[in-house]
């Protein structure tokens, strides 16, 4: 069992060396326990369920407070020294199918007790003049709102933002 976990942890580290993935967990023991590898992508693109498939992954799913803390801090650290454009990262959460029914990219419902919406979000804003008739249906983390962990906002899905991709350490059995 331990050998298998160590093998998977090494696999995550090799993903980092080859494709830029890293583990968001600072403790090696946490990394081995969770075996998630993540990649923050600087090139802004619209929200897309398949945005990370080329790396055999998906937009990140946040399952715990520890993960929220880690992703929020990673986003902030990643942006230090980058010219300020849009300081947000897409996560794998949307209510495109049914308004106000937020689903992760794996089609699991968002648990209300594990959500980190900032105050008055999600608001499904339709624009000042109604230029977004379907409203805001995709979620992102904004780096300037992490002090209280409430850093999620909804936005129109065709907005160009950075994104966080997630993959399991390679080829888990």
Average pLDDT per consecutive 10 residues, the chain (173 residues; last block may be shorter) = 55 45 42 58 82 81 85 70 66 96 96 90 95 96 69 93 76 39
Per-residue pLDDT at 25? 42
* Region class of 122: left (phi > 0), else alpha (psi between -120 and 50), else beta: beta
Name, in order, each residue with C-beta under 8 angstroms of 36's C-beta and a sequence gap of 6 or more. Answer: 12, 23, 24, 25, 166, 167, 168, 169
Per-residue pLDDT at 6? 56
* 83 lies in some domain: yes
Per-residue pLDDT at 133? 94
Please, are residues 104 and 61 in contact by the beta-carbon 8 Å criterion?
yes
| 3-state SS class at 49 | coil
* 121 lies in some domain: yes
Output the domain CATH number for residue 102. 3.10.100.10
Domain residue limits at 59: 38-168
* 82 lies in some domain: yes
Please, are residues 162 and 54 in contact by the beta-carbon 8 Å criterion?
no
* 148 lies in some domain: yes
Per-residue pLDDT at 31? 43
* 27 lies in some domain: no
Tell me how many domains the chain contains: 1
> Hey, what are 120's tokens?
């008055």
Task: Tell whether pTM > 0.85.
Answer: no
Of 86, 82, 87, 91, nearest to 57 (Cα)?
Answer: 91
């Amino acid at each position: 069992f331990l050998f298998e976990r160590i093998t998977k942890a090494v696999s995550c580290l090799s993903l980092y060396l080859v494709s830029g993935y890293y583990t968001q967990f600072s403790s090696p023991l946490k990394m081995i326990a969770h075996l998630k590898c993540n990649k923050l992508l600087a090139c802004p693109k619209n929200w897309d369920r398949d945005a990370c498939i080329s790396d055999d992954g998906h937009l990140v799913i946040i399952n715990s407070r520890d993960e929220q803390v880690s992703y929020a801090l990673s986003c902030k650290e990643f942006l230090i020294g980058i010219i300020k454009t849009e300081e947000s990262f897409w996560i794998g959460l949307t209510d495109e199918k049914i308004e106000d029914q937020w689903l992760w990219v794996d089609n699991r419902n968002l648990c209300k007790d594990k959500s980190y919406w900032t105050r008055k979000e999600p608001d499904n804003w339709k624009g000042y003049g109604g230029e977004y008739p379907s409203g805001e249906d995709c979620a992102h983390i904004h780096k300037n709102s992490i002090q209280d962990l409430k850093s999620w906002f909804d936005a129109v899905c065709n907005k160009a933002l950075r994104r966080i991709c997630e993959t399991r350490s390679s080829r888990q059995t």
